Amino acid sequence: MILLALACADPVVPAHPLADPGARLVRASLLVRGHRPSATELAEFRAAPYTLPDRIDAWMAEPTFGANVRDALNEWWRTRVTHRNLLPMLGPLEGVDRGAVATSLGEAPLIFAEQVVLEGRPFTDVLTTTGAWVDPHVAAVFGLEHDPAGPLWQAPNPGSRPVAGILSVDPLWFRHITGDANAQRSRAEFVYDRLLCDGLTDLPLPIGDLSPASNAVATEPACTGCHDVLDPAAANFFGWRRYALQNEVTQAYLNACADPTYCYPLAWYEPEDTTGWSEAGLPPPGFEHLPTKDLATFASAVATDPRFLACTARRLRGWLTQTDPLTLPSAVVDADVATLNAHGNRLDALWKSIVLEPAVTGTDAPGPLLVRPEALARSVEFFTGFRWHIDPNPQGCTLLGCSREVDVFNDDLWGQRTLAGGQDGWDVLDPVHAPTATRLLARERLAFKAADHLVTTDFALPAEERVLLTLVEPSTHGTAKVKEQIAHLHSRWLGLPFDPDSEEVAADVDLWVEVAGHASNTEAWRAVVAARLADPTVELF
């Protein structure tokens, strides 16, 4: 009878992983700040798990929320193209790190939008306020003022540039280029695709006469449907140069800047060229069949188009839940737009609202999320103090300059961002939200190096000044101390309850003993710390 009862008993269903407050806090912290929480935060939250809304408010005042905002916006606007934003280090940039300049160019549009979010302004301000933000590199390339005595990033006088938010940010158009025949249409398409989620270039091109004489964009009925919309929008962008090639800049300096167009500062925005649409054969500037006076009125019209906030909501939810934003149900998007509207169109308010949903940080969450490379690097740095930078050119640079310090998880020319699952913004347009071999290799390599750093630096310090290894010395052999130290690692990094007798801790003690027996105690600590930094639950959260 007893046997029968046992056989018929319901199988034990594991509790939902996010029922654990530690796991829930880890997920919320990664979604808001892009890094895992501290040991103190975990301990406090376990004692008071109802405090998540307040914690999110506090986190949103931290610099790492701003960094996370930039990560998200980069995924939408694809500006961090460090492998493409390469300029010769000549003139005022002589001796400057080439990679650092490329990084600054990618960051500038994001810094501006970050300010809008951090200051609690309506997100429509990214289109309706002055967008120029510069550091010394951006200032030198585009000829904007930067006070060396001030903060790194500053809002300069934008000069004659229209007040059009990111649409008047010089580096955005350094990334999103156009050509003579394209006639600024690619920049108009940036607005339709990235800001309105209503891209036009996916529509099939009709077969017809495309010779210049045919002027098909204006006369071929199958073409005009799109071009009636795209071309007036494109006309707003005249004034910004099409692109700048490395050899154009080099050649300009070889010619002693006789033509200063491609010497720094680049002649990038020319107000007298704003009427160039006429010469290019485009119709007058407009948006959705209504005339626009200039780029500022165009940007303002985009900001008030209902598709802008809907697209913003789609992209944010898609980013937080790692789903394709264009597949989200309309009802969900409508609800998110309502949330935005109810909070003065503040992106941080929608961010918090989504993070607090049971389907995101609660027991309705359908499955684990994958840590992005940017968040992994930030988490490891937060915990160990280690940020992986490399020097890819130790032999030195040519006259045109080179990169001497590369952030491995935020770079694709030399680094591992795309191998770790990220996007490069140019060829790799979307991140990969699934485990892969190269992602695992990159994560393990980062973990091993960070463990190397942590163990080396910790054992060089007095115990009370260490980050992690406060209970042991290289000479410590006693299993009890080792076990307690490992339990601390599990608690502080993985967010597990402190339990020296747990199965997980026992497994790592076995690992420690095995490596110590064959190598050394120090090597054993490297192995254990590396194993946990690369733990599967660090990737799947």
Partner 1 sequence: MRRRDVLAGLPWVALASPAAAATPPKKLIVVIANGGWDPTMALDPKIGVDGIAGGLPDEDLGDPLDRETTAVIGAIDIAHNPVKRPAVAQFFENWGAYATVVRGLYTSSLSHVPCMDRTLMGRGMADLATTFGAMGAWTPFGAVDLSAMARPGPWPDRVSRLGTQGQISWLVDPATEPAATGATVSTRSAGPLTQAALDAATTARLARLDAAWGGWGVTQRNQLADAQRQAAALREAAPDTSRNTTLQLDLMTTVELMSSGLATAALVDSRATWDTHAEAGKMHGSYNRLFIALGTLMNELTLRGLRDDTLVCVLSELGRTPWRNDELGTDHWPWTAALLMGGGLPGDRVIGATDDGLTGLPVDLSTGDVTDAGETLQLEALTGGILQALGIGDDGPNLQLT
Is the separation of the CB atoms in 415 and 428 below 8 Å? Answer: no
Q: How far is the CB of 128 from partner 1 (least distance, A)?
A: 28
Q: How many degrees, rounded to 5, is the angle at CA 253 between CA 249 and CA 257?
A: 105
Residue 125 or 411: which CB sits closer to partner 1?
411
Question: Contacts with partner 1 in 69-108 (CB under 8 A)?
Answer: 83
3-state class (DSSP) for residue 230: helix
Question: Contacts with partner 1 in 448-467 (CB under 8 A)?
Answer: 448-449, 452-453, 456-457
The one-character DSSP state at 191 is I
Residue 181 or 331: which CB sits closer to partner 1?
181
Question: Contacts with partner 1 in 210-269 (CB under 8 A)?
Answer: 210-212
Q: How far is the CB of 465 from partner 1 (least distance, A)?
A: 15
Residue 160 or 436: which CB sits closer to partner 1?
436
Q: How far is the CB of 204 from partner 1 (least distance, A)?
A: 5
Q: Does 442 bind partner 1 (CB under 8 A)?
A: yes
The amino acid at residue 247 is N
Is the separation of the CB atoms in 32 and 56 below 8 Å? Answer: yes
Residue 278 or 436: which CB sits closer to partner 1?
436
Residue 291 or 385: which CB sits closer to partner 1?
385
Question: Contacts with partner 1 in 498-537 (CB under 8 A)?
Answer: 503-504, 507-508, 511, 514-515, 518-519, 523, 526-527, 530-531, 534-537
Is the separation of the CB atoms in 58 and 38 below 8 Å? Answer: no
Distance CA 390, CA 410 (A): 12
Q: Does 279 bind partner 1 (CB under 8 A)?
A: no
Residue 44 or 444: which CB sits closer to partner 1?
444
| Structure-block tokens of residue 24 | 């829930």
Sequence-distant (6+) residues with CB within 8 A of 190 are 176
Q: Does 16 bind partner 1 (CB under 8 A)?
A: yes
CA end-to-end span of the chain: 43
Choosing from 437, 462, 464, 501, the residue that interacts with partner 1 (CB under 8 A) is 437
Look at phi and psi of residue 78 and say left if phi exceeds 0, alpha if psi is from -120 to 50, else beta.
Answer: left
Question: Which among 464, 436, 466 is positioned nearest to 529, based on CA atoms?
Answer: 466
Sequence-distant (6+) residues with CB within 8 A of 464 are 470
Rg, Å, the chain Cα set = 27
Is the separation of the CB atoms in 300 and 128 below 8 Å? Answer: yes
- Whether omega for the bond prior to residue 162 falls within 30 degrees of 0, making it cis, is no
Q: How far is the CB of 97 from partner 1 (least distance, A)?
A: 11
Residue 138 or 188: which CB sits closer to partner 1?
188
Q: How far is the CB of 22 from partner 1 (least distance, A)?
A: 13
Residue 135 or 412: which CB sits closer to partner 1?
412
Choosing from 349, 356, 428, 471, the residue that interacts with partner 1 (CB under 8 A) is 428
Q: How many degrees, rounded to 5, is the angle at CA 197 between CA 330 and CA 56?
A: 70
Q: Does 289 bind partner 1 (CB under 8 A)?
A: no
Q: How far is the CB of 225 from partner 1 (least distance, A)?
A: 14
Distance CA 237, CA 182 (A): 12
Q: How far is the CB of 30 from partner 1 (least distance, A)?
A: 15
Stretch in the footprint of partner 1 (CB under 8 A) among 249-257, 291-299, 444-452, 461-469: 444-452
Distance CA 390, CA 442 (A): 14
Question: Contacts with partner 1 in 309-368 (CB under 8 A)?
Answer: 367-368
Q: Does 444 bind partner 1 (CB under 8 A)?
A: yes
Question: Contacts with partner 1 in 156-215 (CB under 8 A)?
Answer: 179-182, 186, 189, 201-205, 207, 209-212
Choosing from 4, 10, 14, 95, the residue that interacts with partner 1 (CB under 8 A) is 14
Residue 23 or 303: which CB sits closer to partner 1?
23
Distance CA 252, CA 259 (A): 7
Residue 91 or 497: which CB sits closer to partner 1?
497
Sequence-distant (6+) residues with CB within 8 A of 510 are none
| Structure-block tokens of residue 192 | 């339709």
Is the separation of the CB atoms in 453 and 386 below 8 Å? Answer: yes
Buried b (16+ CB within 10 A) or exposed e, 46-81: beeeeebeebbeebbeeebbbbbbbbbbbbbbbbbb
Q: How far is the CB of 119 from partner 1 (least distance, A)?
A: 34
Residue 113 or 529: which CB sits closer to partner 1?
529
Question: Contacts with partner 1 in 390-419 (CB under 8 A)?
Answer: 390-392, 394, 405-406, 412-416, 418-419
Please, what sign has the CA dihedral across residues 330, 127, 131, 122? Answer: negative
Residue 8 or 181: which CB sits closer to partner 1?
181
Q: How many amino acids of this chain bind partner 1 (CB under 8 A)?
A: 83
- Burial grade of 390 (CB within 10 A; 0-12, 13-18, 19 or more): middle
The amino acid at residue 522 is T
Residue 203 or 480: which CB sits closer to partner 1?
203
The one-character DSSP state at 287 is E
Is the separation of the CB atoms in 237 and 295 below 8 Å? Answer: yes
Q: How far is the CB of 157 from partner 1 (least distance, A)?
A: 34
Q: How far is the CB of 151 from partner 1 (least distance, A)?
A: 24
Q: How far is the CB of 274 from partner 1 (least distance, A)?
A: 21
Q: How far is the CB of 267 from partner 1 (least distance, A)?
A: 18
Q: Does 378 bind partner 1 (CB under 8 A)?
A: no
Q: How far is the CB of 18 from partner 1 (least distance, A)?
A: 9
Is the separation of the CB atoms in 230 and 281 below 8 Å? Answer: no
